[in-house]
Amino acid sequence: MTATTASSKSKDTRGLAGQTVGDTQICSVNQTSLIYRGYEIADLAAHATFEEVAFLLIEGHKPSATELKAFTAEVVSMRSIPDGLKTLLRDIARAEVGSHPMAILRTGVSYLSHFDEEVEDNGLDAERRKAKRLLAKIPTIIGYGQMVRDGKTPVDPDPTLNHASNLLWCMTGKKPTDLVARTMDVSLILYAEHDFNASTFTGRVIASTMSDLHSAVCGAIGALKGELHGGANEMAMEMLKDVDAFVSAGGTVRQYMDRAFETKQKLMGFGHRVYKNGDHRAGILRGWGLKIAEAQGPDSKKWFDLGDAVQKIMLDDKQIHPNVDFPCGMTYFVMGIPVPQYTPIFVASRITGWCAHVTEQHQNNRIIRPLAEYTGPELKAWNG
């Protein structure tokens, strides 16, 4: 056997770049559009609610008014979490323990699996019921964990609030304004689904072994935790904080970016494996975030001014566009959301897409087992 190096290939396919690895009826991602089950993302962001998109992804079609009402009521009724999970969260979410919020959320989902009577049922109807239960309970886990982290008394989910508003309520104990609530709702729509991204593909690989939905979701959360995937919005905001500190010390955004280019600093929130000409979601979310910043005044708007300056230099110098994580960092920051919760919020949305993919995999399954190209040493004799 002769060793082959990656450099000898005509095309770099590491990370399965450019490779089609399966079929899906859930989502289409390409240079010109992002489509959920036939509906384009800008159309959904402008005219749909997150609950409607959640139904679309989980159930497979646009809901009627009657279906949406029943779906929403069912999900709202499932928001509470077991007392045992609350006790666990009080132990692991305390600030002094130092647990990452995504690790806390992963543990919470794993805990719930032990008390879901349908956990081992991979049938279509059971999958959809489990998906709704996770959709309902994940904001409660996130909020309970954040309140414990802040040393505050957790609040119960509010049945009068929609998914986006209840998520904010659980995290902060404050009812959001209409603008903040709608902005969160739009962000959840934008993050709900994105075909075979790293976390979704992880979930499908796990599901392809005929493991259960909760296990697949725990694996997907683990994949999303990484800064090159879900954690990118957190890192994008931390980068902007660095830019602000540099400018406050007398530097300029131009100088910061030149230094970043020279030192090959990773600039989070830019570039995308698929969207070479720009992420369709980025401009939508920036627009909503800017509305909040402008309403709050100069101290909030400065983050978008800094972001716009960084974005222009990246585009002018490197021809690299921002992805949705860049405006997300700024938007969530001016909404007052703690940076470590940015990625868990992603889960409160993407759980819909993950569950849709796990269900699709289970309904037409073949175990996912790709081949690897060996690049190690040539054959040797052990006693030679």
pLDDT digits (tens, 9 = 90+) for 222-239: 999 988 888 888 889 999
Least trusted range by pLDDT, from 154-158, 274-278, 357-361 = 274-278
CA-closest candidate to residue 358, choices 40, 109, 11: 109
Q: CB 120: neighbour CB atoms within 10 A?
A: 12
- Residue range 74-101: mean pLDDT, rounded: 96
Catalytic status, residue 305: no
8 band by pLDDT with thresholds 50, 70 and 90: very low
Structure tokens at 32: 């010109």
- Residue 49 and residue 70 in contact, taking contact as beta carbons nearer than 8 Å: no
Question: Which residues are bridge partners to 29 per DSSP?
Answer: 34
- Rounded to whole angstroms, how far apart are CA atoms 108 and 81? 9
- Residue 237 and residue 339 in contact, taking contact as beta carbons nearer than 8 Å: yes
pLDDT surpassing 90 at residue 280: no
- Residue 223 and residue 199 in contact, taking contact as beta carbons nearer than 8 Å: yes
- Rounded to whole angstroms, how far apart are CA atoms 18 and 24? 16
pLDDT value at position 227? Answer: 84
**pTM assigned to the model:** 0.92
- Residue range 107-129: mean pLDDT, rounded: 98
- Average pLDDT of the chain is 93
- Residue 285 and residue 190 in contact, taking contact as beta carbons nearer than 8 Å: yes
Distance of CA 94 to the CA centre of its chain: 23
Query: Residue 309: what residue type?
Result: A
Query: Residue 325: what residue type?
Result: D
Least trusted range by pLDDT, from 66-70, 204-208, 216-220, 366-370 = 366-370
Per-residue DSSP letter, 253? H
Determine which helix (DSSP H) or strand (DSSP E) holds 36, and give its type and residue range: strand 34-36
Active-site pick, 121, 150, 158, 229: 229
- Rounded to whole angstroms, how far apart are CA atoms 143 and 170? 4
Catalytic status, residue 362: no
pLDDT surpassing 50 at residue 5: no
Domains by residue range for the chain, with CATH: 27-225+341-363 (1.10.580.10), 232-334 (1.10.230.10)
| Strand 27-29 with 34-36, pairing | antiparallel
Active-site pick, 194, 325, 357, 362: 325
Per-residue DSSP letter, 322? B
Query: Residue 17: what residue type?
Result: A
Catalytic status, residue 12: no
Structure tokens at 128: 């959809």
Active-site pick, 272, 280, 317, 357: 272
Measured CA to CA in angstroms, residue 361 lies from 23, 27, 56, 372 at distances of 10, 14, 17, 22
Q: Apex CA 319: angle with CA 314 and CA 324, to 5°? A: 65
- Residue 219 and residue 109 in contact, taking contact as beta carbons nearer than 8 Å: no
CA-closest candidate to residue 217, choices 228, 195, 232, 202: 202
- Rounded to whole angstroms, how far apart are CA atoms 28 and 34? 6
Give the number of C-alpha atoms closer than 13 A to the C-alpha of residue 177, restricted to the C-beta side: 9
